[in-house]
Chains A and B, each alone.
Chain A
């Protein structure tokens, strides 16, 4: 039971981590809490659905419930959601930045943007749920007492691959270093010749693409619905802050801890308290390390 809850927690945590990376980058580079980020998760899931509706999820490949079409749909959704994130920035946040808006104004604007984005989803696709595939899967025993669906193993594997790739990108590419530089000091980044707007644009696109992947993964386990992003929002912020704002490793570890806290807590307390557990953990960690587990001291 404990081992199975651990596995479930890691799976939930992987999805949260992908969304939390975007929240963490936003908090550090864009310098405000973007509550519309969770809606990018929803949009990613639905944009992939558009492709799946036309092309189908494909003939199941190996043990998975889908074929290459769903992977193509996910990549397409990642690109489109990245573009959508940038569009939202152009329409809402960049105007506020130019007018010298305070971070609190940006936060409230993000609430507004989130509401609009969520209700546009309902307007287009309705309030019901959708599945990418109706294929049935049989859980595999991956470890003694731990059973997981092949699709869930795919989610874990691809998350690991994406996070590793992103880590290498941020630490070895010049654009990645510029993003980290701007996260620490926008003024110094400017005197190094870094175009702030270019980094901001790239941050939105990257965050949107990762959120879309999280959305597709949520759709694979097992459905998408208009409030899937909203249901994830607090967990995303908890993970980003728990791990330490601006830290990729922190967002991943934070996501895993939030996922584990939710899934392990049901072994000991009423499941009704499940969603509160990550925040209890957050309070405990912040009491000892206000900058989060992997965050840098201000």
Chain B
């Protein structure tokens, strides 16, 4: 894709050598764009993100970030290169305070963190009020806010989120999606894995359907939402009744 800030091409990755879970998946995200990966359980969506974040070994394929080849770099190097990642579970340090979580999130950043902390608290005022409290006291939605704020402390070019709305109330889901819209509007490229497929596609510019570790469908999110094949298989749409059919 022309103009993409982050591209992954034909990535093969897995936890056990010789047993790849991701089998040649590709994705590209441009600055300010939201791309959502959907697919059935076990399709390899989360493993794909973890591989892109440097947490799962990649055996082949090519990943580039802002024009730089970052294939196979370890997670801390990818953070320095401009990648932010919010895992699905365990995405905040519960024994650390909210303030400490944000400071740890900026571990690769030198100098005064004051302006970055102020920006994080301005974006998520609910966190500012609890900055001295341990993260374990936060609700599910607030934890997601903290996880996103933590990942944003390095001002990444690309933010990847693995099911950020899992287990959240409808109100909290809307808040998270609003945050992602605001982030994309500020120029951050967002790559999202979501079970809440329809809502995520409505939020997104483009989408990708991953099945058995490979791209099955991809294109504009609106097109995927309207595609009957995608709708029936992955979005829970009912098959249109055919005249004279059973």
Which positions in A face B, CB cutoff 8 Å? 171, 174, 177-178, 180-181, 183-185, 187-195, 296
A196 and chain B: residue at smallest CB distance: B76
The residue from B54, B76, B85, B93 contacting A185, defined by CB atoms under 8 A apart:
B93
Asked if B237 lies at the interface with its beta carbon under 8 angstroms from chain A, I say no
Which residues from B are CB-within-8-Å of A185? 90, 93
Q: Are A184 and B93 in contact (CB under 8 A)?
A: yes
Determine if B107 and A178 form an interchain contact, defined as CB atoms under 8 angstroms apart.
Answer: yes
Instruction: Knowing A184-B95, A184-B96, A187-B55 are in contact, say whether A193-B87 is a contact too (CB < 8 A).
Output: no
CA of A180 to CA of B96 in the docked complex: distance in angstroms? 8
Contact flag A192-B79 (CB < 8 Å), given A177-B103, A187-B55: yes
- A191 & B96 in contact (Cβ 8 Å cutoff): no
Nearest to A180 among chain B residues (CB) is B96
Q: Is B173 in the interface zone, CB < 8 Å from A?
A: no
Q: Would you list the 3 A-B pairs with minimal beta carbon distance, nearest first?
A: A193-B79, A193-B108, A190-B75
Q: What is the minimal beta-carbon distance from A243 to any residue of chain B, in angstroms? A: 15
* Separation of A18 and B67 alpha carbons in the complex (Å): 50
A194 touches B87 (CB 8 A): no
Does B53 contact A191, Cβ atoms closer than 8 Å? yes
| List of A residues within 8 angstroms of B164 by Cβ | none
Alpha-carbon gap, A187 to B88, bound state (A): 12
B20 near A: Cβ within 8 Å? no
Which of A174, A178, A183, A191 meets B87, CB within 8 Å? A191
In the complex, how many angstroms separate the beta carbon of A180 from the nearest chain B beta carbon?
6
Residues of chain B with a CB closer than 8 A to A194's CB: 76, 104, 107
Taking the closest CB of chain B, its distance from the CB of A167, in whole angstroms, is 14
Q: Supply 9 A–B pairs (Cβ within 8 Å), ascending by A.
A: A177-B104, A180-B95, A181-B104, A187-B87, A188-B92, A191-B75, A193-B80, A193-B154, A296-B94
Among the listed A171, A178, A195, A296, which residue makes an inter-chain contact with B104, where contact means beta carbons less than 8 Å apart? A178
Q: How far does the alpha carbon of A190 sit from the alpha carbon of B105 in the complex, in Å?
A: 10
Cα A187 to Cα B79 in complex, Å, equals 13
Q: Chain A residues near B100: list those with CB within 8 A.
A: 171, 177, 180-181
